[in-house]
Structure 1
Amino acid sequence: MKPALSDKTHKSAGPIVDESTLQGFLGYQLKRAFNVMQADLTQALKPHGLRMLTYTALILIADNPGLSQSQLAAAMDVERPNLVVILDALEHRALILRERVPSDRRTYALKVTLKGRQLYEKATADVKTHEQALLAGIDAATRKTVVEAMLLIRHRAAKDSL
C-alpha cells in the first residue's frame, strides 16, 4: 500500500523512480525531511558565515555560559577533536572565549562574546523566519506531535544505550 503523500520531487529525466517501499519507513522519511531542512538552514546561516555545527555550538555556548568543551561535545554528539575545529572557527571570529577553569587547568569554560551574542540573535531570527516559511501549512498541533515523536525516538535510543 502506497502512502497518502508521495514524493514526486525528482527532477531527473526519464521515468519516476518507485520509492513506495522506502516511503513506508519512518527513517527514510526523516532523512528526506532532514535533507530539506538542512538545506534551508544552510541558506539561512550563509549570510552570517555560519554552518549548522558552528551555529549549534554558538547557541549552546550562549545558552549555557561556562559550559566545558567536554559538555559541549556530548551535547552536540561530536568527537572532541572535531569540536576543537568548530571552537577554533568561533574563537577566530571573536564570537566565543575559552577560559581556563582555575580549579581544573585542563578544562576550559566557554563563553559567548558580545559580538557572538549579537550574531546569535540575528542568525536565530533568520533561522526562525526560514523555518516558519518552510513549515507553513503545518499546524501547531502537528508540529508539536512531530517534536514529541522525535524526542521519544531520541530518549529510546539513549535508554537502549545504557
Structure 2
Amino acid sequence: MTADVPHRTTVSRVTDRPGDASPFALGLLLRRAHWRAAAVMEEALRPLGIELRHFAVLIVLVDRGATVQRDLVAATGSDKAGIMRVVDDLERKGLAVRKAVPGDRRVRAVDITPQGIELFDAAHVAATPLAERLVAELGPGEPEQLMDLLTRFAHPADGEA
C-alpha cells in the first residue's frame, strides 16, 4: 500500500545562483556577498595584526566613544563572551582600554586609545585598494548605488529590524 502524497507540479529549490527566484535567494546572496567582502577586509587587516571582529569593535568606539561592554555586544552582533575576548585582545595590543563607569562599580566602558585610532586610520588606507578591487566588476555609478541600496536595506527608515 502506498501513502497518499500530494503531487507537486513545481518545486522551487533554493540556491544562491544568479536568477534564483526562491524567497531565500536574497538572504543567500547577502551571505555570499558578506563572505566575499569579509575575506577582502580580513586581507587588509591581517598585516595590521587584527581581525574583522576586532575592527568591528574599533568602529563602534570611533563612532560612539567609550562604550559599555553590553552595548558592544548589541552593536557588533556578538555575544558577551566573544566581546570579552575581543576587548581582552584589543587591550593586550594597546588599542583599547577598559575604564570604570562612574556610579556603577560593576560596569566597565571600553575606549579606544591613540594607538587604536592610528591603527583604525591605517586600516582604511590599507583597505581602499582592496575595496576598489571588490567592486571592480560593477559599472560606473554602481558601487555607489549598491552602497545606497544596502544602507537603506540594513537601516530601514521606520526602524524595523
Task: Indicate the TM-score class for this superposition, using the shorter chain for normalisation.
Answer: 0.7 to 0.9
Determine the structure 2 residue equivalent to 1:69.
Answer: 69
1:111 match: secondary structure: strand
Determine if the alignment matches structure 1 residue 32 to structure 2 residue 38: no
**Closer/same/farther in 2, CA of residues 43 and 21 from structure 1, 3 Å limit:** closer
What letter is aligned with 1:101?
V
1:22 paired to 2:31: no
Q: Tell me if the contact between 2:69 and 2:109 (Cα under 8 Å) persists in the aligned partners.
A: yes
8 Å contact from structure 2 (residues 41, 130) kept in 1: yes
User: What's the CA shift for 1:61?
Assistant: 1.2
- Name which one, 1 or 2, has greater alpha-carbon Rg: 2
Deviations 1:42-63 (A, max 9, x none): 1111101111101111121123
Corresponding residue number in structure 2 for 1:109 = 109
Larger % of helix: which? 1
User: Does the C-alpha gap of structure 1 residues 122 and 153 become closer, same or farther in structure 2, counting only changes over 3 Å?
Assistant: same
SS at match of 2:141: helix
Show CA shifts across 1:105-131 (max 9, x none): 222222111111111111121122211
TM-score, normalisation: structure 1: 0.75
Which residue of 2 is the match for residue 54 of structure 1?
54
- 1:71-150 → structure 2 map (5 Å cutoff): 71-139=71-139, 141-150=141-150
Contact 2:66 2:112 in 1 (8 A): no
How many residues are treated as equivalent by the alignment? 141
What does the per-residue CA deviation read over 1:127-150, in whole Å, with 9 as the maximum and x for residues that have no partner?
Answer: 222111221243463223323332
Structure 2 match to 1:10: none
Query: Which blocks of at least 5 consecutive residues in structure 1 are unaligned?
Result: 1-18
Cα distance change, pair 20–74 in 1 and its aligned pair in 2 (3 A): closer
Q: Quote the Cα distance in structure 2 between the aligned partners of 1:96 and 1:109.
A: 10
State the alpha-carbon separation in 1 of the partners of residues 49 and 56 from structure 2.
Answer: 13
